[in-house]
Amino acid sequence: MKNYDKITSLFKRKGYVWGPSPEIYEGGVAGFYDLGPLGAMLFNNIENTVRAVYFENNYYEIKAPLIMPSKVWEASGHLGGFTDPLTKCTKCGAVFRVDKLIKELHPKEIVDGLTYKEYDKKIEDLSIKCASCKGPLSKTVPQDMMLKTTIGLDEEAYLRPETATTTYLQFKRYYEFFRNKLPFGVYQIGTAFRNEISPRNGLIRKREFTQAEAQLFIFKSDKNKYSEFKDFEKIKLPLLTWKEQDKKGKPKKTSLKEAIKGKIIQNKAYAVSLAVGYQIAMELGLDEKRLRYRQHYPNERAFYALDAWDLEYKTDSFGWVEICGVHDRSDYDLKQHAKYSGKDLRVKHGRKKEVPHILEIAAGIERLVFTVLEQAYDEEKRRTVLRLLPSIAPIQLKIFPLVSKDGLPEKAKNVYELMLNEDFFAEYDESGSIGRRYRRADEEGVPFCITIDHDTLEDESVTVRDRDTMKQVRVKINELEDFLEEAIEGDIDF
Ligand SMILES: [Zn+2]
């Protein structure tokens, strides 16, 4: 079990995550965080990894506004329908999210998808009281999660609670862009806002966060005729059906072919969406043993959704955490927007006109950042080390002169310039003993350190040290670029 306080203090000290923000004003507001220099670089690397996975799978990126008028959110069902179950202490006024409160005190209770009456009954049956003063709690009431704002003088508008809705609105434009042919995919990476009542758990539950949501538009009758499926059918995913959860079962590694045959997954296009979500976790080096795809209970998913599975990662700090959700949203969204906008969003399918279905892959970047960091954190006898994959580490190389004299700094700076020119993220460091410089690099997750010593001046070779094994090899400067490229890909055994 990793110690959450120790991890977060390292992240603070090393410039990964700061907050809550704004820290200098009374300790900040829950649910808001800053990323420091290394955090911002890691964030971008992770975001770009997700971007590459979507693009490789034929999704095209778009960007939409963060603010939309009320009408859009009435249509999407968020306005009025997007609420958290809330309870208030009748004595001290403290406010709690009912589902979280029950789960915290009774981790084995199933709280997803309950009605407000059922929450009230649980509070009574389990004799749950106010967490701060033990006073009695009020009945459960809905709390709106939308953040309101105003456009111009008086037009009511809201900050988007998800990117998905803002992606759907341009369906007709995509249709034209993709030359009037379905299926096609688009994705959006950007900020969304949720006015959570008592956000905790750091980066896992923020009020402002980054979503990477991909949407496949496809006719209903084509969902099970998806030709890409043959490239994916052998992929095995750790599937945990809702029926199996009911029996307290474990996830089963199932090939997509078997899953379709056994009707565990309902159609081929949806199966591919699950595989793409899983690919994100693999590219980031997340541990397969800590991953599972958990199917939503029928009463847990949105009323219009035909199926929903969450890719979850087992953190040491918070247990299972959703990092990516895959949803079959049926034709609900486009039909709603057609109804509220008065525009026809049907397109030609053979001889008739039809509104397509949408299959969504929704990943949360901050959650990926946290799980990647938590997994990377490791304490050894003599050092703390962040074992980040070299492909996403913020700083890939550190370059050290062994000592700050005898012409070594000049030579080291030459190598440093060379590495920058080759587009490596490199840093030059000559302060402190070489041992301390290695420790510092290990804590920052730098995968490779290059040391220039007196021999370098004679033989044009440097020492490359591997963070994970601490092994060192000698490499010619003129072969350094190729060597490091292979090492970053993970193709070199130290
Ligand atoms: Zn109280």
Q: How many CA atoms lie within 13 A of 96 on its CB side?
A: 29
SS3 386: strand
> Rounded to a whole number, what is the largest CA-CA distance in the chain?
81
Ligand 1 centroid–CA 127 distance in Å is: 14
Ligand 1 centroid–CA 95 distance in Å is: 8
Ligand 1 centroid–CA 82 distance in Å is: 26
The C-alpha atoms of residue 239 and residue 237 are separated, in whole angstroms, by 6
- Please name the amino acid found at residue 411: K
**For the whole model, what pTM was predicted?**
0.92
Ligand 1 centroid–CA 129 distance in Å is: 8
Q: Which of 390, 408, 413 is nearest to 484 (CA)?
A: 390
CATH class of the domain whose range is 385-489: alpha beta
Ligand 1 centroid–CA 440 distance in Å is: 45
CATH of 83-144, one of 3.40.50.10440, 3.60.20.10, 3.30.40.230, 1.10.1740.10: 3.30.40.230
Ligand 1 centroid–CA 311 distance in Å is: 36
The C-alpha atoms of residue 242 and residue 338 are separated, in whole angstroms, by 33
Q: What pLDDT score does 336 carry?
A: 97
Domain spans in the chain, listed from the N-terminal domain onward: 36-81+156-374, 83-144, 385-489
Q: What pLDDT score does 110 carry?
A: 79
Q: What pLDDT score does 84 carry?
A: 84
Angle at alpha carbon of residue 401, lines to 399 and 404, rounded to 5° = 140
Q: Which of 70, 64, 65 is nearest to 148 (CA)?
A: 70
Q: What pLDDT score does 287 carry?
A: 98
Ligand 1 centroid–CA 152 distance in Å is: 41
Phi/psi for 67 (5° steps) reads -115, 135
Ligand 1 centroid–CA 124 distance in Å is: 16
Ligand 1 centroid–CA 123 distance in Å is: 14
Q: What pLDDT score does 1 carry?
A: 58
Ligand 1 centroid–CA 198 distance in Å is: 15
Q: What pLDDT score does 109 carry?
A: 83
Q: Pseudo-torsion of CA 485, 491, 493, 494, nearest 10°?
A: 20
Ligand 1 centroid–CA 134 distance in Å is: 6
The C-alpha atoms of residue 377 and residue 194 are separated, in whole angstroms, by 29
Ligand 1 centroid–CA 90 distance in Å is: 7
First to last CA, the chain: 28
How many Cβ atoms from other residues are within 10 Å of residue 288's Cβ?
A: 12
Ligand 1 centroid–CA 87 distance in Å is: 11
The C-alpha atoms of residue 148 and residue 159 are separated, in whole angstroms, by 6
The C-alpha atoms of residue 391 and residue 69 are separated, in whole angstroms, by 40
SS3 126: coil
Ligand 1 centroid–CA 321 distance in Å is: 29
Q: Which of 93, 189, 103, 188 is nearest to 135 (CA)?
A: 93
58: left (phi over 0), alpha (psi -120 to 50) or beta: left
61, 51 Cβ separation under 8 angstroms: yes
- Please name the amino acid found at residue 165: T
Name the CATH architecture for the domain at 36-81+156-374: 2-Layer Sandwich (3.30)
Ligand 1 centroid–CA 116 distance in Å is: 20
The C-alpha atoms of residue 374 and residue 388 are separated, in whole angstroms, by 10
Q: What pLDDT score does 300 carry?
A: 81
Q: What pLDDT score does 107 carry?
A: 82
SS3 446: coil
DSSP element (H, E) containing 435: helix 434-444
CA dihedral sign of residues 225, 226, 231, 236: negative
235, 256 Cβ separation under 8 angstroms: yes
* Mean pLDDT in order along the chain per 10 residues (494 residues): 84 93 93 95 98 98 98 92 87 90 86 86 94 93 91 96 97 98 98 86 87 98 97 98 90 98 97 98 97 92 92 94 97 98 97 97 97 95 95 97 96 98 96 96 97 97 97 97 95 89
Q: What pLDDT score does 199 carry?
A: 78
